[in-house]
Amino acid sequence: MSLQGKTIVITGAASGIGAACAAEAKSLGAKVIAVDRNEPTAGLCDQFIRADLSRADSIDAVAGEIQGGVDALCNIAGLPPTRGGALVLQVNFVGLRRLTLSLLPKLNDGASIVNLGSLAGFGWAEQVDQVRALLDVDSLDDVATFCTQHGGDDARAYFLSKEALIAWTLQRRWQWRARGIRMNAVSPGPVETPIHQDFLQTLGERAEEDMRLLERAGQAEDIAPLVAFLCGEGSRWIRGVNIPCDGGMAAHILCQQAGID
């Protein structure tokens, strides 16, 4: 597989899965534009744009920093539950969506959008009323009010951010079909990144149970090749799909639900 000649925007490229995706894309020949609050390691990208996905003005300034067309947008940046519910919802979904929509004029026809979901968003259909409510939040400034109205702890906010992201991905499966722009999601299970301990701290027994079922935690390098594939021409007929990359956890949950385990 080659990404030679493609320009790919990757958010969260300074660390974790985002950094692994940037390294993978570079190794396949892509020009990488990194969007992050922190500057990536030297050589990991061709252009760095500093941005804060919790601030509308910062998000809206990104498009103006990009010269030429973009072949793929990888929305990898995200915050763990320990950062607080409102900020998590802003960065992981509302800000991500605002950035995506603001970059649409920059995307070339046939471009790919890849959203980083999570195993935490697996049960979105069971929480559809709350997911719909978050989908209706248009402004970053309205997130605090949403949190007050809907309650829930910081862990629930993280789950909801990923549920909404997956639902939005499926919902927009044909939104930009006239231009050949496709959007998909990748949902990792437990991955050893700089924020892995934040999840263990917040989710406690649930996270520990997941780790006991797996032979090992995932690595960022396990996720990056799938993201890269979804950026390339080989995925051109894949639209509106959420693909688990979780060591078998999604299959385990489905088998348990169907009673065939």
* Structural domains in the chain plus CATH codes: 7-258 (3.40.50.720)
Give the least confident one: 53-62, 69-78, 109-118, 189-198: 189-198
Reply yes or no on whether 158 is catalytic: yes
Mean pLDDT of 35-41: 97
Q: Alpha carbon of 115 to those of 72, 191, 218: distances in Å?
A: 11, 16, 18
The rounded distance, in Å, linking the Cα atoms of 43 and 17 is 16
Confidence of residue 75 (pLDDT cuts 50, 70, 90): very high
> For residues 256 and 53, is the Cβ–Cβ distance under 8 A?
no
Residue 48, classed as helix, strand or coil, is strand
* Model pLDDT for residues 78-136, shown as the tens digit of each residue: 999 999 999 999 999 999 999 999 999 999 999 999 999 999 999 999 999 999 999 99
- Residue 155's pLDDT is what? 94
> Choosing from 124, 158, 199, 229, which is the catalytic residue?
158
* Model pLDDT for residues 216-238, shown as the tens digit of each residue: 999 999 999 999 999 999 999 99
